[in-house]
Structure 1
């Protein structure tokens, strides 16, 4: 592959070589020092794998363009890879790149059932099960709408379900995505550059030049000769790392749990609430990531405050005033949603196949061989359970504050002025309803027109006789 890359105009190969590393496996080693920000490698546009290149291919292109409905970017790149791999002549350069790709992957879709069961209860477990089914359905559809219609191009014995899974994993684990000027995006595979492993210790360092179409890799930190060169995939939780890339990072600080909030269209007052969700940047079905640093995001509370509105409260809030859901609507509404959250988080935690403490013990005792599939699945489960425990603790703390009447604690926990959105150390509560807080008298007065309708309802429900 190196000779083809050099002939194609790749720059920087003389300073790099492929090597095996103890923890990450196959990767790229630098043969000389590089300073942070220095260009290490440039792959020319002419040899990148893109949808545009696939459509421009004289053999493959007409079949792809004729497919109805059009293939997705992911499927186009997967078919492109398999097409080149299946050719017995021609495409020598691209075939050398395919030959250098791994023969197998460690994505969760390849786990044995007992290995996947280690992370039962996680989002990874659910998504992997769904993926396995959707991949089979997508492959059957591809056979009907593309492969069987062009048997000379796509011999079915080289485009099997297993071949398709391999190609998808290649795209998932090696493709790079970039946003172009004007908001469009491009997904591509770059020979040799796709051998670079992820490290959370480097800055984003792979760039695409829209004018030339070239892909460059910069040094994300200072390197000495012999160091492994890494790129940064992003702030990715272990569940996604394992599903797409086939590895995990123990104690990953980016671990998260995707909380799905949903309301059926037949629910009471659905149309009015849908307008409020939309104005708040949400939807009737919304997925909100819970993280270690923000285990109970404000949008979870905003969604549920709207979902649990009764008719009297709903009439005081219009889509133009949906910012009111940043704060407590009423004591009863807040108690209801916080009780629901605490109970839901407990239910989710109970659904995990192996509880946190036992998983920790099993990992310490070496029950799961380090680096193996079950070991990786255990780390996914650990991360999601940690997040959910923090989320439950946060919901219970907020619930205790509301039930005890410690509204100052609630205001502090919201940490945001109802008018200007700042988060000072001290907030003052509305003296009448005690359901919103302000950074000062000026913001309280400025917000009065929007808040007054809700204030009356909240004050009457809480029995407060104070005045604003």
Structure 2
């Protein structure tokens, strides 16, 4: 919060608390890590003796994940704010129900369903993947309707058709190298990913056709009228890529589920395995979807 807003609300804080605490923790981190790496810490030992790595990590994550944005007092921009009561709510699937009331100068959160006395109140943190929740919030949500997995793809500069592919991708608003997404659910292949793979799989005559077409934007849709050989190549490429990703894991899905069911795991290990299961669910779901698309093309996967 800004100093003027702190004063107006009569809060027992001085200055921009969120930013101050983040800055202070950053300074402590520098001193602490310098000491851990064998250097001479600038702070005296008495200031660091109770700051374990775990406590430091907890403190940083607590402050950094609670820097919420609200309009500044003069309305010219956004500033950080700490909203303690709101931060007590855990996450569930739903929709964003938090707004800011300029008239009352406060954030307001509406319940996403009816609650009875004694019930735990949940809010929706936003359309975040489990990877984002894992890194920034420290948990994995088992039934995440917005879960996704990043794929890094790119057109090689050595590709003789790189210029044509780049031109068509640019028309579609897509990069020649970037991150794309596989999603959870019945339609796991994001439209941007699908369009990129189709352009990536085209021969010169296909690229020329779509560069001349006024319907090139149709390439983002699953049922776009596309040449069968291009469509087959597209789905086979994605099938191979997903298989390679799955083969990189040191365990199978069953191995992970067995470990989770046995219990006795340290909390951090359990969380890491849950994250691994989350990724594998997306990949297995995508494999099933791709194989259905290949069957629709009349070409079962060449990787089976």
Compute the TM-score of the two structures, normalised by the length of structure 2.
Answer: 0.72
- Cα offset for 1:170? 2.9
- Cα offset for 1:328? 4.8
Query: Residues 268 and 84 of structure 1: is their aligned pair in 2 closer, same or farther, counting only changes over 3 Å?
Result: same
Deviations 1:132-173 (A, max 9, x none): xxx99xx99xxxxxxxxxxxxxx7678999698556523442
Deviations 1:5-54 (A, max 9, x none): xx977xxxxxxxxxxxxxxxxxxxxxxxxxxxxxxxxxx597899xxx65
Q: Which residue of 1 aligns with 2:37?
A: none
Q: How does 1:240-251 map to 2 (within 5 A)?
A: 240-251=132-143
- Cα distance between partner residues in 2 of 1:283 and 1:185: 31
Q: Which residue of 2 aligns with 1:348?
A: 245
Q: Which residue of 2 aligns with 1:393?
A: 288
- Cα offset for 1:389? 0.9
Do the aligned partners of 1:81 and 1:167 also contact (CA within 8 Å) in 2?
Answer: no
1:205 aligned residue (81, 88, 97)? 97
Q: Which residue of 1 aligns with 2:163?
A: 271
- Cα distance between partner residues in 1 of 2:25 and 2:183: 41
- Cα offset for 1:366? 1.6
Deviations 1:407-436 (A, max 9, x none): xxxxxxxxxxxxxxxxxxxxxxxxxxxxxx
Do the aligned partners of 1:172 and 1:245 also contact (CA within 8 Å) in 2?
Answer: no
- Cα offset for 1:306? 0.9
Secondary structure in 2 aligned to 1:316?
A: helix
- Cα offset for 1:357? 1.0
Secondary structure in 1 aligned to 2:260?
A: helix
Q: Which residue of 2 aligns with 1:176?
A: 68
1:81 aligned residue (9, 15, 21)? 21
Residues 1:189 and 2:81 aligned together: yes
Do the aligned partners of 2:70 and 2:81 also contact (CA within 8 Å) in 1?
Answer: no
Q: Which residue of 2 aligns with 1:311?
A: 204
- Cα distance between partner residues in 1 of 2:69 and 2:161: 41
- Cα offset for 1:310? 1.9
Q: Which residue of 1 aligns with 2:3?
A: none
- Cα offset for 1:178? 6.5
Ranges of 4+ aligned residues in structure 1 off by more than 6 Å = 45-49, 155-164
Q: Which residue of 2 aligns with 1:448?
A: none
Query: Residues 315 and 339 of structure 1: is their aligned pair in 2 closer, same or farther, counting only changes over 3 Å?
Result: same
- Cα distance between partner residues in 2 of 1:297 and 1:156: 50
- Cα offset for 1:334? 1.7
> What stretches of structure 2 of length at least 5 have no aligned partner?
1-5, 35-41
Query: Residues 220 and 399 of structure 1: is their aligned pair in 2 closer, same or farther, counting only changes over 3 Å?
Result: closer
1:373 aligned residue (261, 268, 271)? 268
Q: Which residue of 2 aligns with 1:258?
A: 150
2:117 aligned residue (215, 222, 225)? 225
Secondary structure in 2 aligned to 1:174?
A: coil
- Cα distance between partner residues in 2 of 1:343 and 1:85: 45
- Cα distance between partner residues in 1 of 2:258 and 2:23: 47
Secondary structure in 2 aligned to 1:215?
A: strand
Q: Which residue of 2 aligns with 1:322?
A: 216
- Cα offset for 1:204? 2.8
Structure of higher CA gyration radius: 1
- Cα distance between partner residues in 2 of 1:274 and 1:358: 42
Residues 1:297 and 2:190 aligned together: yes
- Cα distance between partner residues in 2 of 1:265 and 1:217: 49
- Cα distance between partner residues in 1 of 2:215 and 2:239: 28
Do the aligned partners of 2:66 and 2:83 also contact (CA within 8 Å) in 1?
Answer: no
- Cα offset for 1:245? 0.8
Q: Which residue of 1 aligns with 2:259?
A: 362
Query: Residues 167 and 268 of structure 1: is their aligned pair in 2 closer, same or farther, counting only changes over 3 Å?
Result: farther
- Cα distance between partner residues in 2 of 1:262 and 1:211: 49
Q: Which residue of 2 aligns with 1:402?
A: 297
- Cα offset for 1:261? 2.1
Q: Which structure would you say has the larger RCO, counting Cα contacts within 8 Å and 6 or more residues apart?
A: 1
Deviations 1:415-465 (A, max 9, x none): xxxxxxxxxxxxxxxxxxxxxxxxxxxxxxxxxxxxxxxxxxxxxxxxxxx
Deviations 1:354-400 (A, max 9, x none): 2101111121122525xx11111111111111111111121122223
Residues matched between the structures, number: 272
> What stretches of structure 1 of length at least 5 have no aligned partner?
1-6, 10-43, 58-76, 87-134, 141-154, 406-468
- Cα offset for 1:292? 1.9
